[in-house]
Amino acid sequence: MKKWILLLVIGFLCLAAAGCAVNKDASADAKKDQVVRIGYQKNGPLVILKSLGTLEKRLDSLGYKVEWKEFQAGPALVEALNAGSIDFGRTGNSPVIFAQAANTPFQIVAAGKSKYEGSGILVPKDSDIKDIADLKGKRVSFAKGSSSHYLIVKALEKSGLKYSDITPAFLTPGDARIAFEQGDVDAMVVWDPYTASTELYADAKLLVNGEGFTTDRDFFIANNDFADEHQDLIDTIMEEVKKSSDWSNNHQDDLAEMLAPILNIEKDAIKMAIERRTYGVDAISKDIIKEQQEIADTFYRLDIIPKKIDVTEVMTEQAN
């Protein structure tokens, strides 16, 4: 009898151990199948991170895969965040305002450095438009809801004009370039490297850049669920963004070689764009919050967004 009892006990312990091993393996497999979905734009810092491949290595060691989703402009990226098809992304200063006004569930987790030198208003070299005041009555292209949208609004206001004094042509950078070259618009508001390419290859001149009008920052954003549940992953992503930014600032020639075929833009235009910006991440400060609130208040005052918003609902001051 004792022998049978001993055999039963041994059998039970073996089954329990096997069950634990199976559960452990299943848990590991389940974790291995988890995916972090990241939205990026070809001209932004996340495309550099994607190209270097360092994030995949970091997250793979934690049991996560990376799924990259490309967007031509920020508004489409934040729409994807709202729809739940991405977890994390990067966009400009204006799309996050529109996203908040549309009740998109997201948080701003970090800010990029100012890149105002590469954002600007372009006109043909032979144009009779000599300053911003000359834009009155003109047809001006820019991407609706983008950082360029805010730039043109502020530039007009500081020159004594109203937003209603121009005829907006809401076009993506690629379509805007075609319209500009064909003479269908009088001016084009855009960001680098499209600014640089248009300057060098479309017989254009930069009327003004963003100085005095906008800092034109990047913002790194995450949907609420991802931010609440995976702060550790966000910290890891931002660590790799900082590393890739340092690499970019110290390897400008290599970066131009990397980005030219990705963007299908001339290498010298890419180099111009790289040389007039600094890649990096800034902690969210009172000044950055103030910048964003001014954008939100301006868009509300002009009926560009449907309601007044408080940007501190999606961004909070961070320690340096």
Q: Block means of pLDDT (10 residues each) for the chain, length 320 residues?
A: 45 45 44 82 90 95 94 85 94 91 95 95 97 97 89 95 96 94 97 95 96 93 94 96 97 95 93 95 95 94 93 91
The C-alpha atoms of residue 292 and residue 99 are separated, in whole angstroms, by: 13
Structure tokens at 252: 């400008």
Q: Please state, as a whole number, how many other Cβ atoms lie within 10 Å of the Cβ of residue 47.
A: 20
pLDDT at 156: 97
pLDDT at 74: 81
pLDDT at 233: 96
φ, ψ (nearest 5 deg) of residue 307:
-150, 160
φ, ψ (nearest 5 deg) of residue 102:
-95, 10
Angle among Cα 285, 91, 97 to the nearest 5 degrees reads 70
pLDDT at 12: 44
The C-alpha atoms of residue 144 and residue 170 are separated, in whole angstroms, by: 5
pLDDT at 33: 61
* Residue 284 DSSP SS3: coil
Task: Provide the whole-model pTM.
Answer: 0.83
pLDDT at 73: 76
pLDDT at 302: 87
Three-state SS string over 161-214 comes to CCHHHCEEEECCHHHHHHHHHCCCCCEEEECCCHHHHHHHHCCEEEEEECCCCC
* Residue 102 DSSP SS3: coil
Q: Which domains does the chain have, with CATH numbers?
A: 31-113+217-313 (3.40.190.10), 117-209 (3.40.190.10)
pLDDT at 276: 95
Looking at 60-182, which runs of residues are DSSP E strands?
Answer: 64-71, 88-91, 106-112, 120-124, 139-142, 167-170
